A and B are shown apart, each in its own frame.
Chain A
Amino acid sequence: MKRWLPVYASAFFAFLHLPLLTLAIFSFNSSRFTHWEGFSLAWYRAIFHDPQILEGTWNSVVIAFWATIFSTVIGTLCAYGLWKRNSRTLTGALYLSLVTPEIVSGIALLALFQWAFRFLHWQLGLYTVVLAHIAFCIAYVVIVVSARLRTISPALEEAALDLGANPWQAFWYVTLPALAPGILAAALLALTVSFDDYVITSMVAGVDSETLPMVIYAMARRGASPVINAISALITVIFGVLILISERVRET
């Protein structure tokens, strides 16, 4: 047992990491087939010459930016509002939004937008994607910020109130700075979750708002391609760095 467990654990970590690692290695292959022919950056150059990929990336960045800002502010306020006092309806709705199958959220939001457009003559576009992303990012933010709030002593805020601060000042000058690492971690999480989403996005995106995951999906449906390997490697590295930063920040 003592000897086998580390062996098994190595195999387990290999199973988790080797698929992404080989994918990244083959993104540097000069051949478009899965034989190794030589080192090349051709597929990375191809990314920057593909207008669809560039436009998708730009759309994804814009969407993730706004979705992160809104969901972080709303989620942080919500976590603070729920501190030491529970609202079963709101907490229940947040948990439920987290476990709802993505495809169901997607069609439900599509149904909502289609229904609203009967009265407002708008169309699906980037902003419908932003709204959808805000909806599913809030729960993540609330969970991360709430975890941070539990480590903060309520006595700090009570002291501020006793010393004459009004509730807003106590929040702004005392609790919020103490929460900052949690908020930053939550924002980075929201950013990655938003940037990665395909299922909900594909249901509510307009014709002019194709995101990077939608471009990757369309390419993956046609089979593998070294260009996707290259984008995947880039995304994995960027996400990995962001998450490591957020872990570091959360520990402080």
Chain B
Amino acid sequence: MKLRTWFLLPACLCMAVLFAAPFAIVMAYSFLTRGSFGGIALPWNFENYQRLVDPLYLSILGRSFLMAIGATAACLVLAFPAALFISQAPRHKNLYLQLVMLPFWTSFLVRTYAWIFLLRDTGLFNTALQALGLIHEPLPLLYNNGAVLLGLVYGYLPFMVLPIYATLERLDPSLVEAAADLGARPLTTVFRVVVPLSKPGIVAGSVLVFIPCLGAYLTPDLLGGGRTVLVGNLVQNQFTTARDWPFGSAVSIALMAIVTLLLVIFLRRESEPLA
């Protein structure tokens, strides 16, 4: 065997044992029955997947989709002008890019916790507003859907900025000048010329934000305070408190199927998406 082929072996082994095998087991569990003491038992059946279309679970899935779509849309609206600014900056581009990336590489847990510190009843916002005399009772800012949405947007914003910036960087500036010469106002140029031309970046960024938001667990758990149950929390709950591994497995497989489908559609469009 050639040396390069040997070099692939450890990675293949790791992916087989620590990625493919666990999924084979989860896949198998999803067709089994819950045991009387929480484990798994025979017979094989499709009941776990039938339970997925129960209105209760469909509403959780629907809420996760809405949350992920909302977070993606908010990221797009917030990130586009920022990416435009960086791409047009005459200097310090690298500094701006590092400023975008820096909070992203610091701990995700810490960044989520920061919002607990800011939003809770005795947090910075409520304390400041009360000190200014604007409110008398603390506002319920934390432990609701809005806080979860905010946490997701804050967490995944850099994923949207970078791909959009990358396409804007490659944009031919003469096209923008042509639009201006032909009498388009700056805003018209942005919406009719720049936005359509940066579509690949917008699509890439949206996929990169949507996928982690759909399966988010930590953000809804900490900022939703257990009130905002998304599909990630449903999976965790089935494997811990509810002790229904087969159903939890079926939810996981369904979630993975959606994520894989999105990834495949995306990879078809782009040749080198993540590199």
Contact = CB atoms under 8 A, between A and B. Distances in A.
The answer to whether A and B assemble together is: yes
A17 B105 CA distance: 12
B86 to A, nearest CB: 8
A249 to B, nearest CB: 14
B2 A107 contact: no
Contacts of A95: 263, 267, 274
B242 interface: no
Contact of B122 (A33, A143, A213): A33
Contact of B236 (A13, A103, A216, A220): A103
Contacts of A35: 127, 131
Interface of A: 1-2, 5-6, 8-9, 12-13, 15-17, 19-20, 22-23, 26, 33-35, 73-75, 77-78, 80-83, 85, 87, 90, 93-105, 107-112, 115, 131-132, 134-135, 138, 142-143, 146-147, 167-168, 171, 192, 195-196, 198-199, 203, 213, 216-217, 220-221, 223-224, 228-229, 232, 235-236, 239-240, 243-244, 247
Residue of A85, A171, A224 ringed by the most chain B CB atoms within 10 A: A224
Interface of A is mostly: helix
B100 interface: yes
B19 A135 contact: yes
Nearest to B78: A12
B88 A5 contact: yes
B7 A107 contact: no
A20 B123 contact: no
19 contacts: A16-B154, A23-B114, A81-B4, A81-B5, A90-B11, A99-B212, A99-B259, A100-B256, A103-B215, A103-B235, A107-B235, A110-B239, A111-B26, A112-B25, A167-B4, A216-B110, A217-B222, A229-B117, A232-B110
Contact of B11 (A26, A138, A168): A138
Given A34-B123, A143-B274, A101 B217 contact: yes
Given A94-B15, A134-B18, A220-B116, A108 B252 contact: yes
Interface string B243-275: 001001100100110011001000100000011
B163 interface: no
Contacts of B178: none
A25 to B, nearest CB: 10
Interface string B203-214: 000000001101
B3 A167 contact: yes
Contacts of A168: 3
Contacts of B259: 99-101
Contacts of B131: 35
Given A108-B26, A198-B109, A135 B14 contact: yes
Contact of A77 (B8, B84, B112, B248): B8
A33 B126 CA distance: 12
Interface of B: 2-8, 10-12, 14-15, 18-23, 25-26, 29, 78, 81-82, 84-86, 88, 96, 98-103, 105-118, 120, 122-124, 127, 131, 154, 157, 186-187, 190, 211-212, 214-218, 222, 232, 235-236, 239, 245, 248-249, 252, 255-256, 259-260, 263, 267, 274-275
Interface centre among B88, B106, B256 (most CB of A within 10 A): B106
Given A12-B78, A34-B123, A239 B107 contact: yes
Contacts of A103: 215, 217, 232, 235-236
Contacts of B15: 90, 93-94, 97, 135, 138
A196 B25 CA distance: 27
B109 A217 contact: yes
Nearest to B97: A247
Nearest to B157: A16
Contacts of A135: 14-15, 18-19
A72 to B, nearest CB: 12
Contacts of A82: 8
A236 B14 contact: no
A111 B218 contact: no
Given A107-B235, A146-B275, A90 B81 contact: no
B106 A240 contact: yes
